[in-house]
Every structure is written in C-alpha cells, then in structure tokens.
Chains A and B, each alone.
Chain A
Amino acid sequence: MTGMSLIVKTVCRWLKGFILLFGVYIVLYGHLTPGGGFSGGVIIACAFILIFLAEGKLVETKIFSKNVAGELDSVGILIFWAAALTGLFCGGVYFKNFITTAAESHFKLFSSGIIPICNIGIGLKVGASLFVVFVILAAVKIVVPKKSDNINDHEEDEK
C-alpha cells in the first residue's frame, strides 16, 4: 500500500499540524473549557490516523511505529497512577489533590492541582491505544481460506 494521490498527501501535510495543535489545546485546557483528556486524546489519534491513511503503511515504520505508541500508552497510565500515589503519600488519601490552589489563580492554565497532569496522562493513554488498535486493524492481512477447505469439512463432521 503506497498511499493515496499527491493532492491528498499535500493537504494532509498541511493539516496534520493544526489537528495535532487542536488536540493538544483540548487536552491542556480541559479543566477550563469543554474537552479534556478523552476527547483530546481521540483527536490526537485522529491526526496520526490521517497521516497513516494518506501516506500508506510505509510511514508507520518511519515516524511513529506501533511499538512506540504502545510504550506511550503505558507512560500515560503510569502518569495517572503516579499522580494518584503521590496524593496517597502527601495527603493520606488516594487521588488526593495535593497541590492546593489559591482563589486568585482560578481560571488560569496552571491551576487546579493534579487535574492537568491527569488530563495529560489520560490523553496520552487514549490517543496511543486507539492509534495502536487502528494500526493493527488496518494492517492485518486477511488470509481467506478456500471455501472447500473448512466449511464443508465441518458439515461432514456434523453428519
């Protein structure tokens, strides 16, 4: 699979940065505006899927292989879990919001304690895992058995 035509490739080369930027914005501002780790992560996955669909399978080994994506998946869940454990050690409660925010820093980007950190972790996790599953689903080679091999055999078995 060598990918789609030149027009599609060029448009994707222009668009992929903006889609990625939008996804990162949605993840980072999840505690102030609509959005958050889930939707932002899916948007990031969509950006990579767009590149994958347009450029063909060859790009997978060069830019963003599925092994790297699998490791990012683990990194995301570890960030989330580490935030939870730090709350346990600092505040005594699992998932304690241990960074207290003053009232005047509300509605700023760096506010609300561990929520942005958790958002980043969730975004990495969702984006990477959905990209991996799409690559696996798209790249799987279907080996179709000959019809006479299987189905008739089983019918005979049943008889």
Chain B
Amino acid sequence: MTLEYIVAALIILMIMGAVTALETDNLLSSIIALGAVGFLLAIAFLFLGAPDIAFTQIVVEILLLIILIRVTIHRDLKTTTAHRAMFGWTFAIVLIAFLTWFGLTVFEEFPAFGTAVMDRVADSASVTYIKEGLAKSGAGNLVTAVLLDFRAFDTLGEATVLFCAILGALAILRQKAHKHSKEKDQEADAA
C-alpha cells in the first residue's frame, strides 16, 4: 500500500515537471525540466520492479537531453509563448475532455493497483514465460529472454523501425541534396 503512495507522489512530481517544461519561457530551462520528468520516470520504474527499463530510460534520457540542448543552445532563440488561434484551443479542449472521459471509463474496468493482468487471464503468455523461461532459453534475465528468444521477431521489426528513422534523419540533413532542392525551390518561387 505504501508503494502506491510513493509512485503516486513520483507521478505528481512528474506532472509538475511537465507543466513547467511546457509553460516556461526559456527554452533551455524547459528542456532541463523535461530531463527531470525522465529521471523521475526512471526512479518510478525502479520502484515498480523494472530495473531493465529504468536503466535504459536513464541512458536514453541523457542522450535525448544532449541532442535537444545541442540543437537549441547555439540558436538565437526567440521563445514564442503565445498560443495558437482559437480553433486550436477549442479543438484541444474538446479532444482532452474526450480523452479524459474515455480513460476514466476504461480505468473503471481495470484491476486495482498491485494485481497484475496476467493473474486474471487464464493461461496467459506471461505466466508461461516466467515458468519456463529459464528452462527453454537458458537466460536468467527473463526480459531479455522474451525480447530475444520468445519474441525476437518483434525486436527485428524494432531494429527496422530504428533503421528507417535514422535513414530519414540522414536523408533530411544531407547537405548536397538540400542545396539542390533549395535551388529548385527558388526557381519555383521565381516562376
């Protein structure tokens, strides 16, 4: 029961960090507030018995902060604090209200905190992984066993998605082709 309060306090801190990140004028401070959200998320993962995820979250958060700061720090930043037009506001409010209603309806059906879904579903896959993971794959870390043995095809798809994202970033940032397209744009403007 106490763990529920600890995690709830961590999530409340994360919400405060998120609001700060979105509402601060200075872009650098908002990125650092985003870093606070990520590290609190890692602490929450540690409390919830997921050291694998906590580890990855810390490392990824560091790299994310480096990339974001490296991109924004040398620019002459004019921070725009104003919001979008009225249509955007009304649309946002309607969408968030719908999301809240939808979520609250769904969460009524959820089991209480602390009873895993795998206990409620008869013959679920997770129970099989826990029971036979060591005997079948030989790996002590069951997360790795699921990731690279039982569901390795999923990981192959993940590697493909990462490859495509990186390829897209490389194609967008390539210098030579960009100059070419810029000339084309200017010709189009002139015409």
Contacts and interface: CB of A to CB of B under 8 A. Distances in A.
Whether A and B touch (Cβ < 8 Å) is answered with yes
Given A81-B156, A134-B67, A115 B62 contact: no
A134 B66 contact: yes
Interface in A1-56: 26, 30-39, 42-43, 45-46, 49, 53
A115 B166 contact: no
A126 B56 CA distance: 12
Interface in A109-140: 111-115, 118-119, 122, 125-126, 129-130, 132-134, 136-138, 140
B148 interface: yes
Interface residues of B, number: 40
Interface string B132-157: 00111111110111011100110110
A122 B155 contact: yes
Contact of A32 (B67, B136, B140, B156): B140
Contacts of B134: 106
Interface in B128-182: 134-141, 143-145, 147-149, 152-153, 155-156, 159, 162-163, 166, 169-170, 173, 175
Contacts of A59: none
B70 interface: yes
A26 B75 CA distance: 36
Given A33-B141, A46-B59, A115-B148, A125 B70 contact: no
A147 B156 CA distance: 45
Residue from B51, B56, B148 whose CB has the most chain A CB atoms within 10 Å: B148
Contacts of A95: 149, 152-153, 156
Interface string B52-68: 10011001101100110
B175 A141 contact: yes
Contacts of A33: 140-141
A137 B189 contact: no
A73 B136 CA distance: 30
A150 to B, nearest CB: 8
B153 A94 contact: yes
Contacts of A31: 138-141, 144-145, 148
A19 to B, nearest CB: 11
Interface of A: 26, 30-39, 42-43, 45-46, 49, 53, 73, 77, 80-81, 84, 94-95, 97, 101, 103, 105-107, 111-115, 118-119, 122, 125-126, 129-130, 132-134, 136-138, 140-142, 153, 157
25 contacts: A32-B140, A34-B141, A36-B141, A36-B147, A37-B148, A39-B56, A49-B66, A77-B163, A84-B156, A95-B153, A106-B138, A115-B145, A118-B148, A125-B162, A126-B162, A133-B166, A134-B66, A134-B67, A136-B169, A137-B67, A137-B169, A140-B173, A140-B175, A141-B175, A153-B189
Given A31-B144, A49-B66, A94-B153, 20 more contacts: A30-B141, A31-B139, A32-B141, A33-B141, A36-B141, A36-B147, A46-B59, A81-B156, A95-B156, A111-B138, A111-B139, A112-B138, A113-B137, A115-B138, A133-B169, A136-B169, A136-B173, A137-B67, A137-B169, A157-B189
